Amino acid sequence: MTARDDIDAVEADSVTPIRDDPSALRLMMRNRGVFWGGMLLAVMVMIALFGPLLTGDPIALNPIKRLKPPSGELFFGSDFLGRDIFARVVYGARISLVVGLAVAAISVAIGLFIGMIAGYIRILDGIIMRVMDGLMAIPAILLAIALISLSGATLTTVIIAITIPEIPRVVRLVRSVVLTVRDEPYVEAAIAAGSRLPLILHRHILPNTIAPLIVQATYICGSAMLTESILGFLGAGIPPEIPSWGNIMSEGRTYFQISPWIIFFPGIALAMTVLAVNVMGDGLRDTLDPRVARKM
Amino acid sequence: MLRYILIRILATIPVMVIVAAFVFLMLRLSPGDPASVIAGDYATAEDIARIREKLGLNEPILVQFVNWIGQLLRGDLGTSIFSNLPVTTLIGQRLEPTLLLTLTTILFTVIVAVPLGTLAAWKSGTLIDRFVMLFSVGGFSVPVFVLGYILIYVLAMTLKVLPVQGYRSPFEHGLGPFLWHMVLPTLTLSVIFIALIARMTRASVIEVLQEDYIRTARAKGQSEFTILLRHGLRNAAVPIVTVIGIGIALLIGGVVVTESVYNIPGLGRLVLDAVQSRDYPIIQGLILFFSFVYILINLLIDLSYPLFDPRIRY
């Protein structure tokens, strides 16, 4: 969703920049979005870590209790095989968060590397950016569906398939930062002082990319979780025996008219998690001065 | 002017070639033998050989690529493995619902999102603005299909005011039934798009409203409505139109999901059926089709800037 970047670019204009403040973390937490988004996300992480230890078995079949509505015993009801939706939703938090974090981390790492090269090595810039333009023109969901259908559906292939379309956004962002920073006097001074390229990149360029990348990573995390659930829902994602939120909802489709809770509860859990990530991202963007990020 | 248009059109060619190369390499570089992946678990050796022959996988890779580009230039997107029909024919058969759904969605989105964003910008900092922003963040966070099911549950199953699923062609069944069945899919698909456009409209109108000529217009005693519309929105149009174009990518992904939720026999369903039957040429053809449409729409939008802002001249 590159459109987000353009919104950021315009919205960022009304933001007062904060630079090199020693209490940056405290300032960030003072932002309401960062605080509430972060709290909600922390709760989801706790649920993902410890929840499955407390609930029942998410894959235990109980044919006598098929398609039961929510009750005191089955908080979120049960599905067509009598499995406990509550236990499955709690377990699904693990999958969603793992996918979100993995996609964000990998795409930022790869994008950072390619973006630095594009921004600093002039000959490669044109080629790399045309390839990125091409990659961005391919609809992300279709690309992911094709990659997964070719290489077989596992957690790893799903993560890779969601990561690839996200990389160009990171590359564009990093490249734009590098292009603004490389002409700064302190970089010229470092060159004049005889610093080698790796040192310049590491000491002078890299630190400038961190703030916009943190913001970008939160958005990628949110959209990756959505894409994962869409792939699962379409039956093109993680193998159906793993209770991810998308898979639970996919299985609930047939029974939607009689048991809508099979789709609603994982849907609410997913929306809450993505909302938390997005609200946190907006807050971070307002706090971390993305002014550099807008020059794309 | 003409020169700029020509350069801009030529500039899309490398991007298209890269899309084609990427789609081409995706099949060849995927782990394992692509022919046996496509043939499935129960395929015989002959089946695999037949598919390999059909996809031209026996040739050297460079020959394959040149053949493939040659095919594309002739408007040939390949042939379906199972139905043996050209992919372009299959796309033609399924195009109507997808095209109409996309058009109703874009229309509805612009009608709702642009006034909403302008209102939020005008009342920026107030409760109305907060509400629009909240809706926008929410729109980005709810998966399309969950929204679809919520709408079906409330409007079709509980209130029974709209049909649950299905598609009626306006050419066979008339405009009434068509629109009747389009309301829910359009609403579903619009939400994320409205979130995007309303936010962009708000952001760019806020920026424009800080300009000196807005103060001048106020000083002249022009009505707030004229200021917002003629001075504000008009000058904020270019970024809004740009984001509509970029948002098409979002819309294409959403179409696949929405068609699946509402059982609409469009291109999205064609993709999913192709995935089920591992009919790779169809998947490949559709990716190319959608990417090229995306590139062309953004080219057109780029060229239309002077319509929205006469200061832009090529």
- Could you count the other beta carbons within 10 Å of the beta carbon of residue B46? 9
d(C-alpha A248, C-alpha A266), whole Å: 7
For testing contact with chain B, the best of A8, A131, A138, A233 (most B CBs within 10 A)? A138
Nearest C-alpha in A relative to B21: A134
A31: in domain = yes
A13: in domain = no
> What's the complex ipTM?
0.84
Q: What values do phi and psi take at B271, rounded to 5?
A: -60, -50
Q: Which residues of chain A from 229 to 248 reach within 8 Å of chain B, CB to CB? A: 229-230, 233-236
- Residue B174 has what pLDDT? 78
Question: Which range, of A75-89, A122-136, B197-211, averages the lowest pLDDT?
Answer: A75-89
CATH number, residue A132: 1.10.3720.10
Structure tokens at B235: 């000058």
Give the residue-averaged pLDDT of A213-234. 89
CB contacts, 8 Å: B196 with chain A: 3-4, 7
Write the class of the CATH domain B90-308: mainly alpha
d(C-alpha B128, C-alpha A174), whole Å: 35
d(C-alpha A93, C-alpha A51), whole Å: 9
Nearest C-alpha in A relative to B267: A142
Contact B246 A236 (CB under 8 A): no
- Residue A225 has what pLDDT? 92
- Residue A14 has what pLDDT? 47
Do B30 and B23 form a contact (C-beta atoms < 8 A)? no
- SS3 per-residue string spanning B43-97: CCHHHHHHHHHHCCCCCCHHHHHHHHHHHHHCCCCCECCCCCCEHHHHHHHHHHH
Do A233 and B257 form a contact (C-beta atoms < 8 A)? yes
CA atoms within 13 A on the CB side of A177: 29
A286: in domain = yes
The pLDDT of residue A21 is above 60: no
**Nearest by CB: A139 against B31, B143, B290:** B290
Contact A263 B149 (CB under 8 A): yes
**What's the mean pLDDT when you consider all of chain A?**
80
A236: in domain = yes
A6: in domain = no
- Residue A16 has what pLDDT? 47
CB contacts, 8 Å: A4 with chain B: 140, 196
- Residue B108 has what pLDDT? 94
Nearest C-alpha in A relative to B261: A253
Q: Which residues of chain A from 151 to 170 reach within 8 Å of chain B, CB to CB? A: 151-152
For A76-85, letters b (16+ CB in 10 Å) and e give bbbbeebbbb
Contact B141 A134 (CB under 8 A): no
A11: in domain = no
**A8 falls in which pLDDT band (50, 70, 90)?**
low
Q: Which residues neighbour A199 within 8 Å (Cβ) at sequence distance 6 or greater?
A: A190
The neighbouring-strand residues paired with B79 are: B86
Give the residue-averaged pLDDT of B214-223. 85
Q: What is the pLDDT of residues A41-50, one digit of tens each?
A: 888 888 877 7
Give the residue-averaged pLDDT of B18-30. 83
Sort B221 into a burial class: Cβ within 10 Å, 0-12 / 13-18 / 19+. exposed
Distance from CA of A120 to the nearest CA of B (A): 22
- Residue B314 has what pLDDT? 63
- Residue A104 has what pLDDT? 93
Do B193 and A1 form a contact (C-beta atoms < 8 A)? no
The answer for A288, left when phi > 0, alpha when psi is -120 to 50, beta otherwise, is: alpha
Give the residue-averaged pLDDT of B176-189. 87
Domain of A288, in residue numbers:
23-295
What radius of gyration do chain A's Cα atoms show?
22
Amino acid identity at A240: P
Amino acid identity at A23: S
Number of structural domains chain A divides into: 1
Amino acid identity at A230: I
The pLDDT of residue A12 is above 60: no
Helices assigned H by DSSP within chain A: 3-11, 24-30, 32-54, 85-120, 122-137, 140-151, 155-181, 185-192, 197-200, 206-233, 245-252, 261-287
Q: What is the pLDDT of residues B131-167, one digit of tens each?
A: 888 888 888 888 888 888 888 888 888 887 788 787 8
d(C-alpha B120, C-alpha B171), whole Å: 39
Start and end residues for every CATH 1.10.3720.10 domain found in chain B? 90-308
**pTM to 2 decimal places:** 0.84
CA atoms within 13 A on the CB side of A184: 14
Amino acid identity at A212: P
Cα–chain center distance at B26: 22
Residue recorded with tokens 């999102």: B113
A280: in domain = yes
The percentage of chain B sitting over the pLDDT mark of 90, rounded to a whole number, equals 11
The percentage of chain B sitting over the pLDDT mark of 70, rounded to a whole number, equals 97
Q: What values do phi and psi take at A140, rounded to 5?
A: -55, -45
Contact A13 B207 (CB under 8 A): yes
Helix or strand run (H / E) with residue B104: helix B87-122
- Residue A106 has what pLDDT? 95
- Residue A290 has what pLDDT? 47
**Nearest by CB: B287 against A138, A152, A274:** A138
More confident residue, B48 or A97: A97
For testing contact with chain B, the best of A128, A169, A230 (most B CBs within 10 A)? A230
d(C-alpha A140, C-alpha B248), whole Å: 12
More confident residue, A252 or A107: A107
The answer for B125, left when phi > 0, alpha when psi is -120 to 50, beta otherwise, is: left
A1: in domain = no
